[in-house]
Amino acid sequence: MIQSNTVHYDRAIAGTFQSTATWADPAGGPRFIALFSWRGRARVTVAAILTEDGKAAGRFEGSFVALSMSDAQDQPRA
């Protein structure tokens, strides 16, 4: 589930664009996988850049929480 996110639009995108996402912290991926495997839940922050014709057009950063199926079923429904 999305915990929080921020988007910055640096310029309009009028055509085809590309989005490239990475872990906000290079150690984030392995830490996320290890915690999820151990606890059944983990949190990670992802950063992405949107480009059009090789020029930056926007930036995204989001924090996500993953829950195992058993943990997700225990969560109250909105």
Q: Which pLDDT value is given to residue 15?
A: 92
> pTM here?
0.73
- Say if residue 72's pLDDT is above 60: no
The mean of the pLDDT values for the chain is: 88
Q: pLDDT tens digits for 26-40?
A: 888 899 999 999 999
d(CA 28, CA 46): 9
Q: pLDDT tens digits for 15-28?
A: 999 999 999 998 88
d(CA 76, CA 68): 15
Q: Which pLDDT value is given to residue 42?
A: 94
What is the residue extent of each domain of the chain? Answer: 2-12+23-69
